[in-house]
Amino acid sequence: MTKNELQFFLDVATLAAQAGGAVLKYYLGNLTDVQEKGRSGDLVTEADKASEAAILAVLERHVPDHGILTEESGELGDLKSPYLWAIDPLDGTTNFAHQYPFFSASIGLLINGVPQVGVIYDPFHDELFQAAKGLGATCNNRLISVSKTNSLDKSLLVTGFAYDRRETTDNNYAEFAHLTHLTQGVRRSGAASIDLAHTACGRLDGYWERGLSPWDMAAGIVLVEEAGGKVTAYDTSPFQISSGRILATNGYLHERLSQTLIETPALSSWKDK
């Protein structure tokens, strides 16, 4: 894959994210149709659907022979293609429905199964995060890099909770509470793409989460890696996008955060002191 080819795909992803973001701006505060997709809190709105339509229109014009995996419509196009676009037209739907300002349109491109291009557009703050393999990472056309924080007690982390958190003990509550005591804080924005983008630009030092889908992570993975960070499984083994679990850090904290996640006692074993 040449740099010119990657730049072309980055330009396409940028157009798509901006098209989706424009739709989100239009619908913010003007929703009339908010529904649950099955689990409590797992929402879909007319903004999700309209943003997806705008994004798909851009991809159809520029890369009609590629495969697509999108949150609302599922699998589309040529799924045998080595190119697969992983799209979240509105990451942070619950936030959006409440007009809480953490949401995005997220566009990632996997080439032979590996995330290579990522664009995340935060229309509320008008921040455009862009990255492609070997081309670096930017926010509004300025180069970004991960933080240099090298100890957990000086770190600010971020995480999230899957929609099935009420139904399973594998719900991240124990890790959240434990790491809150070991760090300067653990935030929860409610949008995985924003968490990864903010880790890439050094606002946050590390991020972990489970129960994610490829469209939640694909774009942000490229941003973190191109900004100098590290992305793996919880145990630092190679990241598998199908696992739904991710550990992304500035690199300096990676081993320590991984060890802490693995060693955190299950919530069921906690006792009142």
Is residue 32 domain-shared with residue 121, that is, in the same domain? yes
For residues 270 and 217, what is the distance between their CA atoms, to the nearest angstrom? 31
HSE, CB side, 13 Å, CA atoms: give it for residue 260: 24
Q: What is the pLDDT of residue 167?
A: 65
* 8 contact partners, CB below 8 Å, separation of at least 6: none
Domain span including residue 81: 1-141
**Average pLDDT of span 165-186:** 86
Q: Find tokens 């009339």 and name the residue.
A: 32
Q: What is the pLDDT of residue 267?
A: 72
How many domains is the chain built from?
2
Q: What is the DSSP string of 103-126?
A: -EEEEEEEETTEEEEEEEEETTTT
Cα-based angle 11, 20, 35 (whole degrees, multiple of 5): 150
**Average pLDDT of span 10-31:** 96
pLDDT at 273 over 50: no
Host H or E run for residue 230: strand 230-232
Is residue 154 domain-shared with residue 173, that is, in the same domain? yes
Annotated binding site for Mg(2+): 71, 88, 90-91, 216
CATH number of the structural domain spanning residue 177: 3.40.190.80
Share of the chain above pLDDT 70, in %: 93
Is residue 131 domain-shared with residue 155, that is, in the same domain? no
Query: What predicted TM-score, i.e. pTM, was given to this entire model?
Result: 0.94
142: left (phi over 0), alpha (psi -120 to 50) or beta: beta
Q: What is the pLDDT of residue 193?
A: 98
Is residue 81 domain-shared with residue 174, that is, in the same domain? no
**Average pLDDT of span 142-160:** 98
**Average pLDDT of span 17-24:** 98
The closest of 163, 22, 20, 161 to 88, measured between CA atoms, is 20
Is residue 124 domain-shared with residue 181, that is, in the same domain? no
Tell me which of 141, 159, 176 is where a domain ends: 141
**Average pLDDT of span 186-197:** 97
Q: What is the DSSP string of 134-155?
A: TTEEEETTEE-------SGGG-
Q: What is the pLDDT of residue 39?
A: 62
Q: Between these two residues, 188 and 39, which has the higher pLDDT value? A: 188
Q: Between these two residues, 270 and 265, which has the higher pLDDT value? A: 265
Cα-based angle 90, 15, 48 (whole degrees, multiple of 5): 20
HSE, CB side, 13 Å, CA atoms: give it for residue 46: 9
The two most distant CA atoms of the chain are separated, in Å, by 62
Q: What is the pLDDT of residue 91?
A: 97
Q: Find tokens 């199908």 and name the residue.
A: 242
Is residue 180 domain-shared with residue 238, that is, in the same domain? yes
Is residue 3 domain-shared with residue 135, that is, in the same domain? yes
Q: What is the pLDDT of residue 271?
A: 64
Q: Strand pairing partners for 74?
A: 70
Q: Strand pairing partners for 142?
A: 139
Is residue 105 domain-shared with residue 157, that is, in the same domain? no
Is residue 240 domain-shared with residue 197, that is, in the same domain? yes
Q: Between these two residues, 164 and 196, which has the higher pLDDT value? A: 196
- Both structure tokens of 215: 């469209």
Q: What is the pLDDT of residue 34?
A: 83
Distance of CA 134 to the CA centre of its chain: 20
The closest of 153, 186, 161 to 253, measured between CA atoms, is 153
**Average pLDDT of span 167-175:** 79
Is residue 190 domain-shared with residue 136, that is, in the same domain? no
Is residue 48 domain-shared with residue 156, that is, in the same domain? no
Annotated binding site: 71, 88, 90-91, 216
Q: Mind listing the pLDDT tens digit for each residue in 211-239?
A: 999 999 999 999 999 999 999 999 999 99
Strand, helix or coil at 263? helix
